[in-house]
Amino acid sequence: MTDQKEHLVLIFDNLIRMKNECSCSIFSACEISDITVKQINYLKVIDSHDEITFSRLAEITRNSKPTITEMIHKLDRMGCISRKSCPHDGRISYLYLTERGEMIARAEQNALQQVIERLIDSLDCHEIDLLIEILKKVR
């Protein structure tokens, strides 16, 4: 059983390495080298909500409005977000992701898709079906 575990560790290490390489190439294409995990998480939250406001972002992330304002200013300077005033109340601004922001927010999912494409390119139809059936059993 130990040999099997070691073999599985090597296989999963390889898969994780491939995913990380794909993620890094996506971040590299965005030309942002100093983005933090926290900033990426903010972008993911914005990406998952339509017409999100500063206040709503503060509620979701459980942060103060000044903290959110500071983070939004940083993300704006990085070219990751844009703001649009509410047509009915000029005091309210909605936050949207730019193309760069979307690429960063979706980088992990896109990297996973690239790994899956590499798996599909490496396996025949029967092997893919077998892999699916095996992985369905994992809980």
Tell me: pLDDT of 33 over 80: no
Q: What is the pLDDT of residue 79?
A: 92
Supply the range of the domain harboring residue 114.
Answer: 1-30+106-139
Least Cα distance to 101 among 125, 72, 132, 128 occurs for 72
Tell me, yes or no, whether 110 and 98 share the same domain.
no
User: Which two three-digit tokens encode residue 6?
Assistant: 């070691």
Least Cα distance to 45 among 107, 111, 85, 95 occurs for 95
Q: What is the pLDDT of residue 1?
A: 67
Tell me, yes or no, whether 80 and 118 share the same domain.
no
Tell me: pLDDT of 89 over 70: yes
Q: pTM for this one?
A: 0.79
Tell me, yes or no, whether 57 and 23 share the same domain.
no
Name beta bridge partners: 52: 95
Q: 24 and 110 in contact (C-beta within 8 Å)?
A: no
Tell me, yes or no, whether 114 and 73 share the same domain.
no
Exposure pattern of 54-73 as b/e (b: 16+ CB <10 Å)? bebbbeeeebeeeebeebbe
Domain count, the chain: 2
Q: What is the mean pLDDT of residues 49-73?
A: 91
Tell me: pLDDT of 32 over 80: no
Tell me, yes or no, whether 76 and 97 share the same domain.
yes
Tell me, yes or no, whether 63 and 48 share the same domain.
yes
